[in-house]
């Protein structure tokens, strides 16, 4: 039975988590304050991409001067489940945005509500939903997928993610920080998150913390894992050629080796670059190692799913192992949304 940390999340971290939007790739506190504002403007550019849906709108002040504002929403993956697409908005649309003001007086606003207006009367033509609706699938439509392949190995091939209206399936417990790790976490400022600057994430953040779909491909000599969030891809051979040697450089996604044990796929990784493991920070050192275990499950009310358990060891910042768990549902004919990261707008 994998170790499950009993360390409680601190009140500060709970407060941060309470204001995070679903599927954000960094904390909105990195770019925005708690002040609520409203802006109206004309859409100059609409970006329906991960990690965030963005609008650039021309806002005209009382003196007639125009300024371009950046509007940052949650992920395209999340908004697609609410009915959004690349055609939801167009250049020239008049919109009213309610949200939080940008830090340091930047011309930015978070996307907490979006209304499309008639340009003359300013009457609301349509309000755009920002949350997904209940899953409309009937029980008879639940998919079926064999737990094992013809060769007896677990059948993990496919795209696995969150269905419409489904729970996030996270079991992310607070890291058991030692003194050094706790001191580092106490200094965490969301504005310093590397993902704000569009840097690639480290392994734990990409493979363990992500709420987005994961695609698994099984081959005779390797397994390939692709991630919608951040666009990461890992190719891991079974013969150990991808495992790290003592003098090898560290990589964002580490150096890994894979094997099957009964009905499970096991991936062990070392040589992982130091960095934050999620939106709350939780930075680990470059001494971190991970063991991922993937197995197939079936749920009679939700269908085929994959469970991933990641055991994380870091003698630099943890006093004992830390575990992350996710379960993701089979997504038939799912298409990844492309990644186009934009750094915070400076005007």
| Domain-wise residue ranges, the chain | 23-128, 139-330
User: Assign residue 88 a region: left if phi > 0, alpha if psi is -120 to 50, beta otherwise?
Assistant: alpha
Q: Give the rounded percent of residues in the chain with a pLDDT score beyond 70.
A: 85
Q: What is the pLDDT of residue 329?
A: 93
pTM confidence score: 0.86
Q: How far apart are CA 129 and CA 221, in angstroms?
A: 45
Q: Please provide residue 186's backbone torsions phi and psi, each rounded to the nearest 5 degrees.
A: -65, -25
Q: What is the pLDDT of residue 28?
A: 66
Give every CB contact of residue 345 below 8 A, 6+ residues apart in sequence.
56, 68, 69, 70, 102, 106, 107, 108
Q: What is the pLDDT of residue 267?
A: 98
Q: Distances from the Cα of 65 to the Cαs of 60, 62, 227, 263, 320, in angstroms?
A: 5, 7, 43, 64, 58
Count of residues making up the chain: 347
Q: How far apart are CA 10 and CA 26, in angstroms?
A: 19
Q: From 75, 111, 76, 78, select the one nearest 95 (Cα to Cα).
A: 111
Q: Which two tokens stand for residue 343?
A: 């750094």
Q: What is the pLDDT of residue 63?
A: 87
Return the CATH architecture of domain 23-128: Beta Barrel (2.40)
Q: What is the pLDDT of residue 21?
A: 41
Q: How far apart are CA 40 and CA 62, in angstroms?
A: 12
Give every CB contact of residue 194 below 8 A, 6+ residues apart in sequence.
201, 275, 276
Q: From 2, 161, 132, select the one nearest 74 (Cα to Cα).
A: 132
Q: What is the pLDDT of residue 20?
A: 37
Q: What is the pLDDT of residue 62?
A: 84
Ranges of residues in the chain with a pLDDT under 50 are 1-23, 133-140
pLDDT in tens, 125-178: 999 998 764 444 444 466 789 999 999 999 999 999 976 555 556 667 889 999
């Amino acid at each position: 039975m994998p170790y499950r940390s009993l360390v409680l999340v601190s009140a500060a971290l709970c407060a941060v988590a309470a204001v995070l939007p679903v599927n954000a790739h960094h904390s909105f506190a990195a770019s925005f304050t708690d002040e609520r504002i409203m802006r109206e403007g004309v859409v100059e550019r609409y970006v329906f991409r991960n990690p965030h849906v963005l609008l650039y709108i021309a806002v005209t002040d009382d003196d007639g001067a125009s300024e371009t504002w950046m509007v940052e929403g949650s992920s395209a993956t999340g908004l697609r489940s609410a009915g959004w697409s690349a055609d939801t908005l167009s250049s020239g649309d008049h919109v009213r945005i309610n949200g939080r003001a940008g830090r340091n007086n930047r011309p930015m606003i978070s996307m907490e509500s979006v209304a499309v207006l008639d340009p003359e009367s300013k009457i609301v033509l349509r309000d755009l939903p920002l949350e997904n609706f209940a899953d409309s699938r009937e029980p008879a439509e639940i998919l079926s997928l064999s737990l094992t392949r013809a060769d007896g190995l677990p059948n993990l091939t496919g795209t696995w993610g969150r269905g419409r209206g489904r729970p996030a399936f996270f079991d992310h417990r607070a890291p058991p920080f030692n003194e050094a790790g706790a001191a580092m976490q106490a200094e965490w400022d969301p504005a310093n998150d590397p993902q704000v600057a569009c840097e690639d994430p480290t392994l734990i953040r990409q493979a363990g913390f992500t709420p987005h779909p994961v695609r698994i491909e099984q081959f005779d000599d390797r397994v390939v894992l692709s991630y919608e969030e951040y666009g990461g891809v890992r190719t891991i051979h079974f013969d150990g050629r991808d495992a790290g040697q003592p003098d090898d450089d560290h990589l964002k996604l580490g150096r890994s080796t894979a094997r099957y044990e009964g009905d499970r796929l096991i991936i062990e990784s070392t040589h992982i670059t130091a960095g934050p493991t999620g939106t709350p920070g939780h930075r680990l050192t470059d001494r971190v190692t991970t063991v991922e275990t993937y197995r197939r499950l079936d749920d009679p009310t939700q269908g085929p799913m994959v469970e991933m358990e990641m055991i994380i060891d870091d003698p630099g910042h943890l006093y004992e192992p830390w575990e992350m768990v996710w379960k993701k549902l089979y997504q038939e004919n799912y298409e990844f949304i492309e990644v186009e990261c934009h750094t915070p707008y400076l005007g």
